[in-house]
Chain A
Amino acid sequence: QVHLAQSGAEMKKPGASVRVSCKASGYTFTDYYIHWVRQAPGQGLEWMGWINPNSGDTNYAQNFQAWVTMTRDTFITTVYMDMRLGPGDTGVYYCARQALADSSFDHWGQGSLVTVSS
């Protein structure tokens, strides 16, 4: 079955960088786009961007474009989200698989809590 397994919680200082990983299993890794979504504490969902695991092409939301890089390693079916952190970047970061047929996210990782504190 499809599974997206994310890396564990991180605590970082403002100005530091964090890497969150998302290991995919149970399907053909290169067939499906992976998206990243952030949820600040007590807040809603915020779309960050996507990566095409086949080509490595990416598309970032304007709010994240200067701070985020998404990459993938096809050999270990893992997608990475690297981010330079500011004070307001505390939240849970989710990876999600985009369905083939439409724009929905049909499987989600469990989420990775990133805490930014000085």
Chain B
Amino acid sequence: SSELTQDPAVSVALGQTVTITCRGDSLRSYSATWYQQKPGEAPLFVIYGENNRPSGIPDRFSASRSGNTASLTITGAQAEDEADYYCSSRATRIFQPWLFGGGTKLTVL
């Protein structure tokens, strides 16, 4: 079972703002990385560190972290943002030092 918990599905109207959350004890110590995955494709990292966007990722993607919760916010969601989103972080367990959340399916209406 995943030790990072995400809501299975979230929907947003086109052009509106949506927040995807990720909860887990490891987030008290480590920042989250957020990945976007579209059907049939490999994941793509969209946020790393506390709130850094890789080159080519639109600035409508942002992130934050507080306590045991990390959040990914898409401000002005576009149709092409419809995808699965996964959070990931380091963990303190020796035999499971990397974690992924279960993923959130984002639907843009």
Contact = CB atoms under 8 A, between A and B. Distances in A.
Interface string A57-84: 0011110010000000000000000000
B97 A59 contact: yes
Given A101-B49, A105-B33, A47 B42 contact: no
A28 interface: no
A103 B102 contact: no
B48 A45 contact: no
B86 A45 contact: yes
B42 A35 contact: no
A16 to B, nearest CB: 25
Interface residues of A, number: 25
Contact of B43 (A65, A99, A103, A105): A105
A60 B97 CA distance: 9
Given A46-B100, A103-B90, 18 more contacts: A35-B98, A44-B2, A44-B84, A44-B101, A45-B86, A47-B88, A47-B99, A60-B95, A61-B98, A62-B96, A65-B95, A99-B48, A102-B48, A104-B33, A105-B45, A105-B88, A108-B44, A109-B42
Interface in B33-82: 33, 35, 37, 42-45, 48-49, 54
B98 A44 contact: no
B21 interface: no
B98 to A, nearest CB: 4
B100 A45 contact: yes
Contacts of A61: 95-96, 98
A47 B35 CA distance: 14
Contacts of B31: 102
Contacts of B45: 104-106
A38 B84 CA distance: 15
Given A47-B100, A103-B89, A62 B42 contact: no
20 contacts: A35-B98, A44-B84, A45-B35, A45-B37, A45-B43, A45-B88, A45-B103, A47-B88, A61-B95, A61-B96, A62-B96, A65-B95, A94-B42, A94-B43, A96-B43, A102-B48, A103-B88, A103-B89, A106-B48, A108-B43
